[in-house]
């Protein structure tokens, strides 16, 4: 099976990461007198166990009932079994105990999946044991690891700090297998995926989620960029599905002046309603700022985006965000499972409710961009004003100030189909396998030089097209020669080379080099700089 995503050991479905947690400390299950409804549920449980024709597991009945109950609420109120809950807590804590790799499942012997090591955490347990990106884990202990599911992979490779796991590796260009013993350790799950200088003036930070470590990670990144002469910043929240509400508040606080409203929570329960304000501790309150968002920026990302837009602090570029404006709270149950329930909805400083209506099937034209539209077509119910009096649009999600499509090349649709099948990833992996050792010998220890000057041989694009045509033969129409976006194909392969040699940040830097959304920021700095000069404003006046 072709994998289309990389998996960090202990990683989780994005929809779960996307929760906005109002309070990480959970509320314990409280015993109390059963209501009539609860007694009916208890009686039904007892009757099924006693009278049903076959033996029925009580734990299975309980879990099914809890799933059904939360399933009748909003899509983000859920029941979390114990194992799933432990994985989620690892993500929010920002670390876990394991071996420190990201992996993909790729086609192996007899068509079964093999564990492909796509990156190794620098200084982590696997790096210390000698694992490299590109290795295949084909055995764990005395057992073949070929064909394992993600759940089995996690259960066999993760484990308590200090314990050991013996793995068998296959390494390209080496005919014999390698036997390696890895001592598990605490592995950080960093949320700042990249921080570097785009040019002599412009810093760039990519944030992938909001976990316990996010605020301090961001401050370290900003200080590093300041040391390199940063005058302005691109802050990238694309694909960031959210996380902890407290971290969203602290991130927004780094860009806002003291006492500015960040977010309000509204609920029928007064203890869950309230407002959060910026403090005086921000590191980046007075310089030009562009914020990148897209349709997968959700919950905590939307808190940050909404606050920076409403206070005219940043210029937002990209696409309308997801529209997940719910605050969750965790309620632990006695068996180690938990309920994650919606307790409030959040609103931006101007009053916009970010939660997109569930019944909305398609986007309204006026909800996609605030520019180049007939403002008289926008309903009064979704018209809001920033501190400077600019029109911003509600109705679900955060609408950017400048809408930029992520792709636009006429050949992009063909490439999208190829990538969805995992074919370009397979080509890149095979192309790199035979060249990884020589590439390491040339570029080892020089990631900046690699990003700036490494070029693929001209034949790579033609080889990729031939590979795709061959793999698609007999399973559907093959793309004609020169039918894919060449620049994207080459950027993708270069990125995969960079990841194999140096890790995910270098891969992201290379992809950013041909990113149309990031490219659009070059013509947007005059507006971002004007907002920085006029910030802060109150009631349409600069203070």
For 82-115, write each residue's pLDDT tens digit.
Answer: 878 877 776 666 677 899 999 999 876 655 689 9
pLDDT value, residue 418:
83
Residue 526 in any domain: the answer is no
Same-domain pairing of 251 and 380: yes
CATH number of domain containing 157: 2.30.42.10
Residue 249 lies in a domain: yes
The domain containing residue 349 runs over which residues?
192-404
Residue 33 confidence (pLDDT)? 58
pLDDT digits (tens, 9 = 90+) for 14-35: 444 455 666 544 555 455 556 7
Q: What is the CATH number of the domain that holds 284?
A: 3.90.226.10
227 and 132 share one domain: no
DSSP, collapsed to helix, strand or coil, labels residue 193 as: strand
Please tell me the total count of domains within the chain.
3
Question: Residue 261 has which token pair?
Answer: 């409203």
Q: What is the 8-class DSSP label of residue 176? A: S
The pLDDT value recorded for residue 25 is 44
Q: Please say whether the beta carbons of 368 and 404 come within 8 A.
A: no
Residue 330's beta-bridge partner residues?
340
Domain boundary among 362, 381, 404: 404
| Residue 196 and residue 181 share a domain | no
Residue 444 lies in a domain: yes
Q: Which residue from 494, 437, 417 is spatially nearest to 460, judged by alpha carbons? A: 494
230 within domain boundaries: yes
For the ranges 127-136, 151-160, 169-178, 401-410, the lowest mean pLDDT is seen at 401-410
Answer with the one of 164, 188, 212 that is the final residue of a domain.
188
- pLDDT digits over 193-249, tens only? 999 999 999 999 999 999 999 999 999 999 999 999 999 999 999 999 998 889 999
Q: What is the mean predicted confidence (pLDDT) over 263-289?
A: 91
* Residues 404, 405, 410, 411, CA torsion sign: positive
Are residues 219 and 332 both part of a single domain?
A: yes
Instruction: Quote the CA–CA distance of 486 and 456 in Å, as a whole number.
Output: 12
| Residues taking part in catalysis | 299, 310, 324
The three-class DSSP label of residue 250 is helix
Confidence (pLDDT) at 539: 63
Q: Which helix (H) or strand (E) holds 170?
A: strand 164-170
In a domain, 82, yes or no: no
If asked whether residues 258 and 111 sit together in one domain, one would say no
Is residue 37 in a domain?
Answer: no
Q: How far apart are CA 189 and CA 8, in angstroms?
A: 9
C-alpha 432/C-alpha 445 separation (Å) is: 18
Output the pLDDT for position 532.
97
The answer to whether position 99 is within a domain reads yes
Distance CA 396, CA 362 (A): 12
Residue 309 and residue 109: Cα distance in Å, rounded?
52
Rounded to the nearest 10°, the torsion over CA 72, 74, 79, 84 is: 140
In a shared domain, residues 329 and 184: no
Q: Specify whether 436 is located in the same domain as 464.
A: yes
The per-residue pLDDT for range 182-197, each reduced to its tens digit, is 999 998 889 999 999 9
421 and 362 fall within a common domain: no
Q: 346 and 249 in one domain?
A: yes
Q: Which of 188, 218, 251 is the last residue of a domain?
A: 188
Quick one: 111 and 200 in the same domain? no
Q: Give percent of the chain with pLDDT exceeding 90.
A: 57
Q: Is residue 90 part of a domain?
A: no
Between 170 and 375, the more confident residue is 170
Q: Do 253 and 397 lie in a common domain?
A: yes
Our CA angle for 109, 110, 112, nearest 5°, is 75
Comparison of pLDDT for 9 and 503, the residue scoring more: 503
Half-sphere exposure of 140 (CA within 13 A, CB side): 18
Read off the pLDDT of each residue in 137-162 and give the average, rounded to a whole number: 92
Answer yes or no: do 271 and 233 share one domain. yes
- Look at residue 253 in the predicted model and tell me its pLDDT: 97
Residue 125 confidence (pLDDT) above 60: yes
């Amino acid at each position: 099976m072709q994998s289309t995503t990389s998996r960090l050991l202990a990683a989780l479905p994005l929809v779960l990461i996307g929760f906005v947690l109002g309070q990480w400390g959970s509320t314990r299950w409280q015993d109390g007198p059963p209501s009539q409804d609860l007694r009916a549920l208890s009686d039904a449980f007892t009757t099924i166990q006693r009278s049903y024709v076959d033996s029925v597991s009580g734990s299975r009945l309980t879990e099914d009932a809890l799933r059904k109950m939360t399933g009748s609420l909003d899509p983000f109120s859920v029941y979390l079994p114990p194992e799933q809950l432990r994985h989620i807590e690892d993500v929010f804590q920002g670390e876990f105990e394991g071996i420190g790799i990201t992996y993909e499942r790729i086609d192996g012997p007899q068509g079964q999946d093999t564990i492909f090591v796509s990156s190794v955490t620098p200084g982590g347990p696997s790096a210390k044991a000698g694992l490299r990106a590109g290795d295949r884990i084909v055995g764990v202990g005395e057992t073949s690891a070929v064909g394992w599911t993600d759940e089995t992979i996690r259960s066999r490779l993760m484990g308590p700090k200090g314990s050991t796991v013996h793995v068998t590796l296959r390494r390209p260009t080496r005919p014999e297998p390698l036997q390696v013993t890895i001592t598990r350790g605490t592995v950080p799950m960093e949320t700042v995926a990249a921080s570097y200088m785009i040019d002599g003036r412009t810093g760039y930070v990519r944030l992938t989620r909001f976990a316990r470590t996010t605020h301090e990670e961001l401050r370290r990144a900003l200080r590093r960029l300041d040391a390199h002469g940063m005058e302005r910043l691109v802050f990238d929240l694309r694909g960031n599905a959210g996380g902890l509400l407290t971290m969203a508040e602290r991130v927004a606080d780094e860009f806002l002046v003291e006492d500015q409203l960040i977010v309000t929570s509204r609920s029928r329960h007064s203890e869950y309603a309230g407002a959060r304000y910026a403090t005086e501790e921000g590191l980046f309150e007075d310089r030009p700022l562009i914020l990148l968002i897209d349709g997968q920026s959700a919950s905590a990302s939307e808190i940050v985006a909404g606050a920076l837009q409403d206070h005219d602090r940043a210029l937002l570029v990209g696409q309308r965000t997801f529209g997940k404006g719910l605050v969750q709270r965790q309620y632990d149950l006695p068996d180690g499972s938990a309920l994650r329930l919606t307790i409030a909805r959040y609103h931006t400083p101007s009053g916009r409710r970010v939660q997109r209506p569930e019944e909305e099937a398609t986007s309204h034209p006026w909800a996609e961009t605030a520019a180049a539209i007939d403002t008289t077509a926008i309903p009064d119910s979704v018209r809001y004003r920033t501190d400077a009096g600019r029109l911003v649009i509600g109705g679900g999600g955060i609408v950017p100030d400048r809408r930029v499509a992520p792709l636009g090349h006429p050949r992009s649709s063909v490439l999208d189909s190829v990538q969805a099948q995992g074919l370009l990833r397979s080509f890149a992996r095979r192309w790199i396998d035979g060249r990884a050792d020589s590439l390491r010998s040339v570029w080892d220890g020089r990631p900046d030089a690699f990003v700036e000057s490494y070029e693929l041989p001209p034949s790579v694009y033609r080889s990729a097209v031939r590979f795709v045509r061959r793999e698609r033969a007999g399973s559907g129409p093959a793309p004609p020669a020169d039918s894919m976006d060449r620049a994207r194909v080459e950027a993708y392969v270069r990125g995969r080379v960079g990841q194999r040699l140096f890790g995910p940040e270098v891969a992201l830097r290379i992809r950013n080099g041909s990113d149309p959304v990031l490219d659009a920021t070059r013509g947007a700095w005059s507006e971002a700089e004007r907002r920085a000069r006029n910030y802060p404003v109150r009631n349409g006046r600069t203070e």
